[in-house]
Amino acid sequence: MTTAVPPATEPVYSTRRGMTWLTYPELTIPNVEHGIAVFKDLSTGPPGPDTVTKLTGTLRSSLDPAPGCLIIPVQKHTSLVRQVGWADCDGRVITCDGLVTHETGVMIAISVADCIPLFAVENDSGTIGVAHCGWRGIAAGVVEEFTACLRALADRPGDVVYLIGASIGTCCYAVRSDFLAHFSDEEVESFSTTTGHRTCFDLKSLLASRLIKSGVGVGQISIDNTCTSCNKYLLSSYRADGSKCGRMLAFLMVKV
C-alpha cells in the first residue's frame, strides 16, 4: 500500500496549575479553545457514569473560566460517534467514542492514555470534533464514522483540519498475531515492522491512511509523533505504567 505521508507537527508544552498542557499551532485559532491536559494522578475505574463525572469535574476545575457545557462520553472502543450540543448538557450519560458539534460554547472532550486523540476543526462554520481512537475503535470503523459525521455537519468538509495527537508510537507499540488479524493484509504489511521476534505497529499512520481513504486530503492532516510511552514521566501511558498512569483529556470548544 502506498500512502502519502501527512506533515508532522510539534506540540507546544506549557504548565497550568502544576499540570502539563499540550496545544498545537494548527489548532491555535482565535475562536477555538483546545488542548490536551495531562493529569498524572487521575486514576479511573471501568468506563461508566462515575468515571465520566470524575473526568468532567477534574477538567472543569482546571479551566478558567470553566465552560458552561462540557461533554465527556463513556468510551468503550466502539465506532459510535455522536452529534451533541447544549441539549446534551443535562447530565445524561452519552456512550460513544467520538463527539462532533457546531454549537458555540459546547466543550467536547475524550480521555486517553496511549490511544490516539483525533481533533477536527472547521474554523469558519464552527464545526469541531474529537475522537478516541484506540486499535479496537479504528478496526471497528470509528475513523470512517467520524469523518462521515463531520462531512454532514461542516459547511466545507475540504477545509476541516485533522490533527492526530500525542499517543503511543511505533517504537513502543509491540503487538501479537491476534492483533494483526483485525486489519487487512495491506495494512499489516504497510504499518507493522518485525525485528527478530518483536512486531511493532504504527497506529498513527494507519489512522492517517484511514482518513485519506475516507476522502480527507493529505494536506488537511497533521501528526504529532510524540510517543506517550517514551515520555511517560511527562505524559500518561497505560503501556508504560499500567493502571497508575493517570489520564490525558483532549478537549475542543468554539468560544461564544
pLDDT, tens digit, 9 for 90 and up, residues 126-139: 999 999 999 999 99
Residues 6+ positions from 146 with CB-CB distance below 8 Å? 81, 98, 100, 118, 120, 129, 131
Give the pLDDT mean for 200-222. 97
Phi, psi of 202 (to 5 degrees): -95, 90
| Higher pLDDT among residues 41 and 120, named by residue | 120
Give 46's pLDDT tier (boundaries 50, 70, 90).
Answer: confident
> Is residue 61 predicted with pLDDT exceeding 80?
yes
| Gap between the Cα atoms of 66 and 51, Å rounded | 19
Domains of the chain: residue spans and CATH: 8-168+208-254 (3.60.140.10)
User: What is the residue-averaged pLDDT of the chain?
Assistant: 95
* pTM of the predicted structure, to 2 decimals: 0.97
Q: Which of 41-45, 99-103, 131-135, 156-160 has the lowest mean pLDDT?
A: 41-45
Q: Which of 107-116, 221-230, 238-247 has the lowest mean pLDDT?
A: 238-247
Cis bond upstream, residue 65 (ω within 30): yes
Percent pLDDT > 90 in the chain is 89
